[in-house]
Amino acid sequence: MTPFELIPPIKDYLWGGTRLRDEYGKKSNTDILAESWELACHKDGQSVIADGEYKGKTLSYFLAEHPEASGTNCEKFEYFPVLIKLIDAKNNLSVQVHPDNEYAQRVEGEYGKTEMWYIVDCDEGAELIYGFRDRISREEFRKAIEENTLLDKVNSVPVKKGDVFFIKSGTLHAIGKGILIAEIQQNSNTTYRVYDYGRVGADGKPRQLHIDKALEVTNLSPTKPYIPAKPVQLSGRTVQILADCEYFTVSKQNIEAEAEMCADKASFNHILVLDGEGTLTAPECEIKLKKGTSVFVPAGTGRYNIIGRTDMIVTEIK
């Protein structure tokens, strides 16, 4: 099996911008490109294979025919474990929370959602919401939602390029306006919205809130800052592990000129290029890399090379 490029489904949610088209080469016939789902095997959005024998087929179709391409570490999961997105928040996203696996599988019939964010770019002064500032009771939380004072209780964090946030299921959160992030998450689309800045959707109505469910699943303790591992210099590249949890292992990799990588039988590698230009080469395979390119390297591919100066996010399952 050889690596292949993926084409993402695009979501035109009302808060999105156009940077994914203007700067990251994403194609869509919608005006707004809020999210591109760069590695997606979900009923609400499917990555499509861009080239090779399976050109035009979904990644889900390919993995159903070649389950070994996910890797042996994926066997412990009921279905494909991760979903990776680029998100361009021109405006604030709603304040929301995701349930854990136990709750989500019982109530929604899919995985819960633990996710991580890498700040790819942001405006000066941009902020996001990461849990509560102080401990809050369930009654105070409900009251703050009902009385529109929730924003006084949350932990607002100023961000800069390269910051990392690990959002364990149950953590209240919101991406703020002027932030472009790469999001690696469990393969789930279950979101409980608690505050939407009084906005209305395309149909002129406020978007639905899910207050009762949110009250059941939200962690009410203040959030501690998340500190990722320090970068490590390897041959030809710098590698920084951004998150390492039971669902995904994510690293930021800066290739200087040329580096050898490997996707053994244990896990696929997913590569999302954030900056620079280069080429991925493997036996009988050559893929051009530029800002926004998304590549699936099947488990068992073995050694492959990245040539050219590129910054990328690499995801695998440990």
Residues 6+ apart with CB under 8 A from 259: 234, 235, 236, 237, 253, 305, 306
Beta-strand relationship, 294-297 and 249-255: unpaired
Catalytic residue among 106, 135, 193, 199: 193
For tokens 């361009």, the residue is: 88
Tell me if 160 sits within 8 A of 117, measured CB to CB.
no
- The token pair that represents 64 in the structure block: 């159903």
Length in residues, the chain: 318
In DSSP terms, 83 is beta-bridged to 185
At 302, the amino acid letter reads G
Q: Is 193 a catalytic residue?
A: yes
| Residues 141, 161: Cα–Cα separation, whole Å | 31
Which residues are known to be catalytic?
A: 193
